[in-house]
Structure 1
C-alpha cells in the first residue's frame, strides 16, 4: 500500500476523515471522493468570504482547485472497478461565463429541464444502484452541479455463508448471519498502532478496489481516523504478527492443520448500508465551507455574472458487502438559485491468524493504485438472525453418530405383524321373487290358472367302471439285475497300472 499520496487524493481523504469525525455512531456511509470535486469546483469560481471558507474545506487554494477536481474525477473514471461522472444543468435564463464553461469536460453541461432527466442521469451513472437524484428542483433552480461514482468488484477468493454467535459485545446472543473464508495471505491482516490499536484486514478485489475492515475499542470516528491515517503513512502498520499476537478481534496461534501454509481466517457479517446526507445542514455546512455561500449575494462570479447562492446540497450513498463482492455508489449534488433571493495431506504445524468482526466495525473502500478512499462507513446495527438452511437442519437432526452411520443408515425397526384379516361377510341373499298376481276375474266365469312350469328331471349319473389293481412299485434304488434299469452299463474291467511296470 502506497504511503505518499498525490495532493488531490490526500485532500479528498482528509475531507473524508473530518467528515467521519462528525458522523453519527450508528450505521452510516459517506463519500468524500464524491463531494470533494464539487467543493473544489465551487471554490475555484467563488469570491469573497465564500471562497475563503471553501478553500479551507478542500485544503488547497482556489487557483489549483479546478484542475485538481477534474484530475480526481479522471483518476476515478480511468480505474477498472471504479467510474465517475460530472454533470451540470443550467436554467435557460442563466448566462454562464465562457471561460468557466469551456473549462469543463465535453458533454458535462446540459439544459435544466425536469426531475426525470436528473433521475435518469443518476440511474445511468451508478449502474442502477441509485435510482433517484438526491435533490428536488423547482422553478427557482438556476444551476445544478453533481458527481456520480460507482465501484463494483468481486473477491479474489470468495466467502461462504455461515453463522456466528458473538460471545460478548453488543451483538452477543443468538447466532447471526455471517460470511467466512480462509486464505494463506497473512499479510492482509495488520495491527495499526494509533492512539488505540486497530485491527485491519484488507479484502482484495479482482482488479483495483480493496475493502479495509477496521475494528478497535475507540469510537467509530477514532477507528476510521486510524484507518485513514494508515493510508497516508501517519501511523505504523504491523503486518508481521508472530504467534501469540493479540489485537481487537484478532489472535495468532499455532495449530495442527491439513494445509502446509499459514492461514488467515476471516469472519464478518454481510452488510448493506445506505445514507442520505443534507450537506447544508448546520454541522456539515460549516465543515464543508458552505455558510457564506448560502446567504444572499454574488458568491460565484467565476460561473456567471448573475448573482448565485447555494440553495441545496445532498448526497445519496450506499455500500454492500456480500459473499461474492462489494459495490458502492454515490450521487452528490448542489443546486444554486439567484443570489438576490435567499484432499487429506500430511498434518503440519502452521500459524493461524483469526480475525472476527463480531461487534461494530468500520470499513473503507480504497482505490489501490492511488490510495483514494471512495467511501467510508461504520456498521453498528446487529446483523440479521441466522436462518438455518434445510441442509443445516437435516445435519443437526440426522447426522449424529459416526460417518459410516450417516452414509449407511440402520435398518428400520421391524414392526409387529398386523392383526389377522377378518373373513369377508357372507354376500346378501337375494330376495325371493314376488308372487304372481292373481289373474283377473273374467265376466264369463272363473279364470283358468296358468299351467305350472315343468319340473326339470336329472339324468342318472353312470356308475364308475371298476379298474384292476395296480402292481406294487419296485424297490428304490432297484437291484442291478432289475428290468427297470435298462441304461445301467456293465462294470468296466480294471485298468492296468500306470506307468506300466517294466520287468
Structure 2
C-alpha cells in the first residue's frame, strides 16, 4: 500500500516549508484568484446554509453550561464544503439538498468567501485579548491530516489547493504519541491558544481528519464604558431572576423588528457586526428557526439606523458538539454511513467522528472568539497494515506439517519457482 501511495499521490506532491508534520501541497497547483463580486448569489446561499447549520447547532445545545450555547456555523460550513469537494453519488446530492449549497461553482464561491475573510487575517497569537484590535483579526485555517499509508485522491488534493489554499499533513494515525499532539498543536496555533485540543476524541483507526479553525478578535466601534457596567437583573427562561454584570451604551444602530422579535446590529470598528436578536416576551430563542433568522438577516440588510440605549450582559462561554447528532437532525443520513461516495478522498472512506469546540468572550472593549470543526474518517474493508512484511523472493524452505503432532509430512526447498 505504501508503494501505491508513493505512485498515486505523493509523486504528484511537493513538500513546502514544513511545520511538523510536514505540510504537502499539490505540485504545480496554485490557488485560483477570484472576482468576489461575481459570487453575490452564492454568498447569499452560503449565508442561508450557515443559518440552517446555526439553528441546528443551537437546537442540539452541545455541552454548554446552564443552557448557554456558542457555536460556529461558519466553521462548520467551511468544513462541510471541503468534505463535499470529495463527495459523489447520492451523498453529494444529499449534502447539496439538505445544506442548500450552491450548484456548479460551489468551490469557486467558497474560495471567494475565504479570500474576503483573508482581508482581516492575522496571527491569533499576537492578539491582546484584554484589548481587542480596532482592525479585526479574522483568521481562518483549513487543515487535512491523512494517513501516510492510505492513498488520497489527486483531484481532491488539487481542489483543496486550488480553492481552499491548503494541502495535507501525512501522518501515522496508529502512532498516537506523535499524531495526537500534532493535531492539538495545529488547533492551539490557529486559535491563539483559546482551544488547546482537537475536539474529536483521538482514534488510532482513523485515516482522515479534516479541520477548520476560525479565530476572531475585534474592538467595538463604540466601546462600552467599564464605569457604567453594573450588576443588573436577568430573567432566565424558567422565570428565575438573577443578577449579572451588564454593560450600557447609547448608540446609532441598525434596528429591525417583526412578529415575535426585535434585532439590532452592534458594529465593530471595521468589517464586522454583532447581530443581537431579542425574542418577544414569553418566547424563547428556540422560536428563532432558520427561516426566521434568514428573514431577520434580510430585514437588517436594509434597516435604518436609530438612536438606541442598549444594555448588554457580559459573557464568557464555551461549548462542544458531537456533530454526528447534528448531521442526523439535518437529514444527512447517507453522508454518515456511505462507504463509497467519498472514494475521491480515500477508497472506501466512511465518516467516523465529527465534533466542534467553540468559545467566546464579550466585554466592554470588544469580542474574542474561536472555533474548531473536525470531521474524521477511516477506510473500510481494508485490512490493517501488518507489523512485518516478508517477501519470499529468493530460495526458501517449506514444510507441510500435521498440526496435531507437528510431523512434517512434506518438506522441500524452492530454488526456482518456474
TM-score tier after normalising by the smaller chain length: 0.5 to 0.7
Of 38, 43, 48, which residue of structure 1 is paired with 2:79? 38
**Is 2:252 the partner of 1:199?**
no
Instruction: Answer whether contact 1:154 1:324 (CA < 8 A) is retained.
Output: yes
2:230 maps to which residue?
Answer: 163
Preserved contact between residue 201 and residue 212 of structure 1 (Cα < 8 Å):
yes
What residue is the counterpart of 1:56 in the other structure? 97
The residue aligned with 1:89 is 145
Q: Choose 1 or 2 for highest CA Rg.
A: 1
Q: 1:37, 1:72 within 8 Å by CA — same for their partners in 2?
A: no
Could you give the per-residue CA deviations for residues 177-217 of structure 1, whole angstroms, max 9, x where no partner exists?
Answer: 1111234x2xx051322x32x22232221121211222121
Give the match's secondary structure for 1:28: coil
Deviations, residues 258-317 of structure 1 (Å, cap 9, x unaligned) = xxxxx6322111011211111112xx223455421332521212223x210111111111
Partner of 1:299: 341
Per the alignment, residue 143 of structure 1 pairs with 208
**SS in structure 2 opposite 1:45?**
coil
Aligned to 1:7: 41
SS of alignment partner, residue 111 of structure 1: strand
Matched, 1:214 2:249: no
- Alignment match, 1:317: 358
Contact 1:279–1:314 (8 Å) recurs in 2: yes
TM value normalised by structure 2: 0.66
Deviates more, 1:96-105 or 1:145-154: 96-105
Instruction: Return the match for 2:328 from 247, 267, 286.
Output: 286
Instruction: Tell me which of 186, 194, 201 is aligned to 1:129.
Output: 194
Structure 2 distance, partners of 1:211, 1:138, is 37
Greater helix content: 2
Measure the CA separation in 2 of the matches of 1:227 and 1:40.
21
1:191 and 1:239 in contact (8 A); partners too: no
How far has the Cα of 1:163 moved from its partner?
2.1
Structure 1 residues 172 and 141, CA gap change in structure 2 (3 angstroms): closer
Contact 2:39 2:112 in 1 (8 A): no
Match of 1:180 among 240, 248, 262: 248
Note if 1:102 corresponds to 2:168. no
Taking a change above 3 Å as real, the CA distance of residues 192 and 119 of structure 1, as seen in their structure-2 partners, is same
- 1:42 to 1:189, Cα distance in 2 relative to 1, 3 A: closer
Once residues 98 and 111 of structure 1 are traced to their aligned partners in structure 2, the CA distance between those partners, rounded to angstroms, is 14
- Number of paired residues? 309
CA distance in 2, matches of 1:84, 1:127: 12
Q: Does residue 267 of the first structure (1) align with residue 308 of the second (2)?
A: no
Map 1:90-489 onto structure 2 (within 5 A): 90-105=146-161, 107-113=166-172, 114-161=179-226, 162-166=229-233, 173=241, 175-183=243-251, 185=252, 188-193=253-258, 195-196=259-260, 198-217=261-280, 218-223=283-288, 225=290, 226-233=292-299, 237=303, 239=305, 264-281=308-325, 284-288=326-330, 290-295=332-337, 297-304=339-346, 306-340=347-381
Distance 1:70 1:137, change over 3 A: farther
Consecutive unaligned residues in structure 2, runs of 5 or more: 1-37, 62-66, 121-135, 173-178, 383-418
- Give yes or no for contact 2:235–2:242 (8 Å, CA) kept in 1: no
Write the distance in 1 (CA, Å) between the matches of 2:234 and 2:211. Answer: 45
Whole-Å separation in 1 of the counterparts to 2:78 and 2:350: 18
CA distance in 2, matches of 1:204, 1:63: 34
**What is the Cα deviation at residue 41 of structure 1?**
2.5
- Please say if residues 350 and 378 of structure 2, whose CA atoms lie closer than 8 Å, have aligned partners that are also in contact: yes
Q: Secondary structure at the residue paired with 2:327?
A: helix
Mark the CA change 1:314 to 1:8 in structure 2 (over 3 Å): closer, same or farther: farther
